[in-house]
Amino acid sequence: MLAWTIYLSFAGALVLAILPKAKPALVRWLALSVAVAGLAVAIAGFISGMGQGLTVFVDLPWMPSMGIHFLLAADGISRVLVLLTGLAAVAGVLFSWNIELRANEFFAFFLALIGGVYGVFLSFDLLLLFVFYEIAIVPKYFLIAIWGSTRREYAAMKLAIYSFAGSAMVLIGLLAAYATAGSHSTSLIELGHAGFPASFQMWCFPLVFTGFAILAGMWPFHTWAPTGHVAAPTGASMLLAGVVMKLGAYGCLRVGIALFPRGLDPWGVSFLGIGSWRDVFAVLAVIGIVYGALVALAQSDFKFVIGYSSVSHMGFVLLGLMTLNQIGMTGAVMQMFSHGIIAGLLFAIVGRIVYDRTHTRQLAELETMHLSRRLPFAAWAFVIAGMASMGLPGFSGFVAELQVLVGAWKVNPWWVAAAGVGIVVGVAYTWRALQKAFFGDLLPSAHVLEQEHGHELAAITWPEVTGVVMLAGVSLFVGLYPRILLDTIEPAVKALLAGGVQ
């Protein structure tokens, strides 16, 4: 059933692409209904898949001479991420409601991107996964380059080249695995049983992992992320931070770790406490957490704060993956979901609710605008989103980061110590942005009040309210009742770990 998420999205994209240009309202509603239908399918698939392991729903021979199948399947991890994609898609359409320029093309690219993302999460054939992964690159480029802002052509090209370079590394690994396995199949299940030699895994793992991790925003390959997020139109930055970075993390997990577990083994020599690829990537993840947070603290552009916070939060995902234990990896998947929701919410507030009304993202300028009075909804939405982003208990981020840290503690307490610094700085930059953007110290003088009275900011519209309530509600719900996701994630992670990882 989940396969329909893919078909619906691509069909929607195709219909929108050939729709007459002059009807943005029709286009919006169509896009929204496709996204909602996708979400409905995702929810139904999530509920019906509870308590089930890996289920295959489509398996057709695709390129028979090469043994490649059109193989769609889902386990707990996939179901959770498909659910996230559905939510992000609906929210993305809601916050793109004011797109007037070439609206049909915008939503066509948007839905094509969503379709590719669904496809990656549901593919259990490595080549098919790769195909969907690459399908997602091209719409990203056009979404940013056409509808973006700040240095959009540069950012779009940078993002496309980074993504393509990452996928080229994955492709090399894929070809090598295909040639080495000799099993005449690229099914993840069969490749998992191929028993690659340890020496092969030792070089193929870092290649594939890095290839995917580029898209997950791993330091030092993260630089596409802040520029891309900032330049992208709101809906697209919500998708980029919300689901596209998860593609990378998912690939790291599903392909890198699951296929080449021996690549994580110790080298036998250790230098400065680093004795395996696992240590290398864990250290990079920790650096990403701290570095992203520190850089976010120093930004003067509101959107860049959120952009760098994404790098920091994705560091937790990678750190969780490198723990290789049940709780840490469960936490990593939780963090993927949680960050997808929260980052989407933050970008929506900054890019759509605030920027489209004030036409500036400079914190120094926003400080003088008294937004807490003029846009109380935005201010309170950001307070909630900020609390979720800091990882306060009661929100999804808390559960996720706690699990990652517990898992990491079991492996190496120093990682936790360093990541803890990142969390503290995270509180600081969120607080700073919150205060500067919304709760400036200066009280407005009577004159300014009068002036502002003449230039009322546009009222908050219903799509914005709906989107904020939906995303904040999900984060809160998952934070209060994490079992709803954990029950699905945990068995899948257990199965993955039993499959040779550890």
Partner 1 sequence: MNYADLFRVTLPETALEIAALVVLIVDLGFLRKAALNLRVTVAALLGVAGCGAALWTVGLQNGSGFFVDGREVLVVGPVAVIAQVGILVLTALTLLLLIDENFTHHVGEFVAVVLMAAAGGLLIVAAQDLLVIFIGLELLSLGLYILTAFAKRSGKSAEAAMKYYLFGGMSAAFLLFGFSYLYGLSGSTNLAAIEQGIPQQGMPLLYVAWVLIVAGLGFKVAAVPFHLWAPDTYEGAPAPAAAFIASVSKVASFALLLNICYGLFQPGKTWSGPPQLLNEIFRTEFAIWQPLLIILIVVAAASMIVGNLAALAQVSVRRLLAYSAIAHAGYILLGVAVRRPYTGQVDTIHFVLDSFRPAFRSTNAVLFYVLTYGLTTIGAFGVVSVVERATGSDRIDSFVGLNKRNPVLAAVLLVLFLSLAGIPPLVGFYAKFNLFAAVLGVSAGPVPFALVALAVAFSVVSLYYYLQVLKRAYVMPTVDESPIKAHPVTMAVLVAIAAAVVVLGCFPALLQNWIESFYS
Return the number of the residue (93 or 160) whose C-beta is nearest partner 1. 160
Task: For residue 106, state whether it binds partner 1 (rule: CB under 8 A).
Answer: no
Which residue has 């991790």 as its token pair? 213
Task: For residue 200, state whether it binds partner 1 (rule: CB under 8 A).
Answer: no
Task: For residue 172, state whether it binds partner 1 (rule: CB under 8 A).
Answer: yes
Report the SS3 class of residue 359.
Answer: coil
Task: For residue 15, state whether it binds partner 1 (rule: CB under 8 A).
Answer: no
Return the number of the residue (72 or 127) whose C-beta is nearest partner 1. 127
Q: For the CB of residue 152, give the shortest distance to partner 1 in the complex, in Å.
A: 8
Q: Specify the stretch interacting with partner 1 by CB under 8 A; choose among 28-36, 156-164, 290-298, 402-410.
A: 156-164
Q: Which of 34, 93, 112, 145 binds partner 1 (CB under 8 A)?
A: 145
Task: For residue 364, state whether it binds partner 1 (rule: CB under 8 A).
Answer: no
Q: Which of 26, 40, 176, 189 binds partner 1 (CB under 8 A)?
A: 176
* β-strand partners of 125: 187
Report the SS3 class of residue 276.
Answer: strand
Task: For residue 134, state whether it binds partner 1 (rule: CB under 8 A).
Answer: yes
Q: Which of 7, 164, 377, 477 binds partner 1 (CB under 8 A)?
A: 164
* 421 token code pair: 């610094």
CA distance 500 to 502: 6
CA distance 345 to 430: 14
CA distances to 71, 87, 144, 274, 336 from 237, in Å: 30, 14, 9, 35, 16
Concatenate the DSSP letters of all residues of 457-486 into one string: PPPPPHHHHHHHHHHHHHHHHHHH-THHHH
Q: For the CB of residue 131, give the shortest distance to partner 1 in the complex, in Å.
A: 4
Q: Which of 26, 138, 421, 448 binds partner 1 (CB under 8 A)?
A: 138
Non-local CB neighbours of 175 within 8 Å, separated by 6+ positions: none
Q: Which of 47, 175, 364, 484 binds partner 1 (CB under 8 A)?
A: 175
Return the number of the residue (135 or 280) whose C-beta is nearest partner 1. 135
Show the site string, 44-83: x = touches partner 1 by CB under 8 A, - = not: -----------------xxxxxx-----------------
Return the number of the residue (77 or 156) whose C-beta is nearest partner 1. 156
Return the number of the residue (126 or 286) whose C-beta is nearest partner 1. 126
Concatenate the DSSP letters of all residues of 286-320 into one string: HHHHHHHHHHHHT-SBHHHHHHHHHHHHHHHHHHH
Q: Which of 6, 39, 117, 127 binds partner 1 (CB under 8 A)?
A: 127
Q: For the CB of residue 146, give the shortest distance to partner 1 in the complex, in Å.
A: 5
Return the number of the residue (80 or 259) whose C-beta is nearest partner 1. 259
Task: For residue 450, state whether it binds partner 1 (rule: CB under 8 A).
Answer: no
Return the number of the residue (165 or 427) whose C-beta is nearest partner 1. 165
**Residue 327: exposure state from Cβ atoms within 10 A (0-12, 13-18, ≥19):** buried
Q: Which of 131, 427, 428, 465 binds partner 1 (CB under 8 A)?
A: 131
Task: For residue 179, state whether it binds partner 1 (rule: CB under 8 A).
Answer: yes
SS (H, E, C) 89-148: HHHHHHCCCCCCCCHHHHHHHHHHHHHHHHHHHHECEHHHHHHHHHHCHHHHHHHHHHHC
Which residue has 């980074």 as its token pair? 162
Q: Specify the stretch interacting with partner 1 by CB under 8 A; choose among 171-179, 262-270, 306-314, 419-427.
A: 171-179
* 246 token code pair: 């998860």
Kind of pairing between the strands at 266-271 and 68-74: unpaired
Q: Which of 11, 157, 294, 383 binds partner 1 (CB under 8 A)?
A: 157
Kind of pairing between the strands at 55-63 and 266-271: unpaired
Q: Which of 182, 220, 268, 454 binds partner 1 (CB under 8 A)?
A: 182
- HSE-up of 87 (CA within 13 Å, CB side)? 28
Report the alpha-carbon angle 291-292-295, nearest 5: 80
Return the number of the residue (58 or 157) whose C-beta is nearest partner 1. 157
Which residue has 């490649």 as its token pair? 68
Closest CA to 474 of 484, 489, 464: 484
- Binding residues with partner 1: total (CB under 8 A): 32
Q: Specify the stretch interacting with partner 1 by CB under 8 A; choose among 165-173, 232-240, 427-435, 441-449.
A: 165-173
Q: With contact defined as beta carbons under 8 Å apart, do 91 and 344 qualify? A: yes
Task: For residue 19, state whether it binds partner 1 (rule: CB under 8 A).
Answer: no
Non-local CB neighbours of 193 within 8 Å, separated by 6+ positions: none
Footprint of partner 1 on this chain (CB under 8 A)?
61-66, 127, 130-131, 134-135, 137-138, 141-142, 145-146, 153, 156-157, 160-161, 164-165, 168, 171-172, 175-176, 178-179, 182
